[in-house]
Structure 1
Amino acid sequence: MMHNFNSDPFYLTRSHEFDWNGNESAGNGIQHVDSADITSLFSMHNGIKASNASGSLQFGGSLGQFEKWDDPIVADHTSNHNEAYVKELEMSQKRLLQLDQALEKARHQAAKQRHSIGRDDAFDRAHARWLGEHERLMDELRSSLLSGEGDDTTVHLLVDAAISHYGDLHGIKSKGAGSDMFHILSGTWTTPAERLLMWLGGFRSSDLLKVVEKQMQNLSLSEEQLVCIFNLQKSCQQAEDALSQGMEALQHSLTLTLSSSSLARPSSGDVVDYASHMATAMSNVHTIQSFLNQADLLRLHTLQQLQRILSPCQAARALLAINDYKARLRALSSLWLARPKE
Structure 2
Amino acid sequence: MADASPRTDISTDADTDDKNQQFDRSLSLPGVVSDSSDRSKDKTDQKSLRRLAQNREAARKSRLRKKAYVQQLESSRLKLTQLEQELQRARQQGVFISSSGDQAHSMSGNGAMQFDAEYARWLEEQNRQINELRAAVNSHASDTELRMIIDGILAHYDDIFRLKGIAAKADVFHLLSGMWKTPAERCFLWLGGFRSSEVLKLLANQLEPLTEQQVAGITNLQQSSQEAEDALSQGMDALQQSLAETLSTGSQNSSGSSGNVANYMGQMAMAMGKLGTLEGFIRQADNLRQQTLQQMHRILTTRQSARALLAIHDYFSRLRALSSLWLARPRD
TM-score above 0.5: yes
2:184 to 173, 180, 193: 193
CA displacement 1:317-336 (0-9 Å, x = unmatched): 00100000001101111111
2:128 to 115, 136, 144: 136
1:273 to 263, 270, 288: 263
Query: Separation in 2 of the partners of 1:204 and 1:153?
Result: 30
CA displacement 1:170-201 (0-9 Å, x = unmatched): 01111111100000000001100000000000
Change in Cα spacing, 1:333 to 1:291, as seen in structure 2 (3 Å) is: same
AA matched with 1:226: V
1:255 to 221, 239, 244: 244
Any gaps of 5 or more consecutive residues in structure 1?
1-113
AA matched with 1:195: R
Which structure dedicates a bigger proportion of its chain to helix? 2
Query: Separation in 1 of the partners of 2:130 and 2:167?
Result: 24
Aligned to 2:317: 327
Aligned to 2:274: 284
Aligned to 1:166: 157
CA displacement 1:25-63 (0-9 Å, x = unmatched): xxxxxxxxxxxxxxxxxxxxxxxxxxxxxxxxxxxxxxx
AA matched with 1:231: N
Change in Cα spacing, 1:163 to 1:274, as seen in structure 2 (3 Å) is: same
Q: Report how many aligned residue pairs link the two structures.
A: 226
% identical aligned pairs: 51
Query: Separation in 2 of the partners of 1:264 and 1:251?
Result: 22
Query: Separation in 2 of the partners of 1:304 and 1:216?
Result: 16
- Once the two structures are TM-superposed, the CA of residue 157 in structure 1 deviates from its matched residue by 1.0
- Once the two structures are TM-superposed, the CA of residue 261 in structure 1 deviates from its matched residue by 2.3
- Once the two structures are TM-superposed, the CA of residue 268 in structure 1 deviates from its matched residue by 1.3
- Once the two structures are TM-superposed, the CA of residue 266 in structure 1 deviates from its matched residue by 5.3
Which structure dedicates a bigger proportion of its chain to strand? 1
Query: Separation in 2 of the partners of 1:266 and 1:141?
Result: 66
Q: Note if contact 1:124-1:189 (Cα within 8 Å) is conserved in structure 2.
A: yes
Match of 1:142, SS state, is helix
CA-atom RMSD, angstroms? 1.4
Please identify the structure whose Cα radius of gyration is greater: 2
Aligned to 2:290: 300
Q: Note if contact 2:176-2:191 (Cα within 8 Å) is conserved in structure 1.
A: yes
Does residue 1:236 correspond to 2:228, yes or no?
A: no
Q: Which has the higher contact order (CA 8 A, sep 6+)?
A: 2
Taking structure 2 as the reference length, the TM-score comes to 0.66
Query: Separation in 2 of the partners of 1:283 and 1:269?
Result: 21
Query: Separation in 1 of the partners of 2:283 and 2:259?
Result: 39
Change in Cα spacing, 1:340 to 1:154, as seen in structure 2 (3 Å) is: same
Query: Separation in 1 of the partners of 2:197 and 2:256?
Result: 46
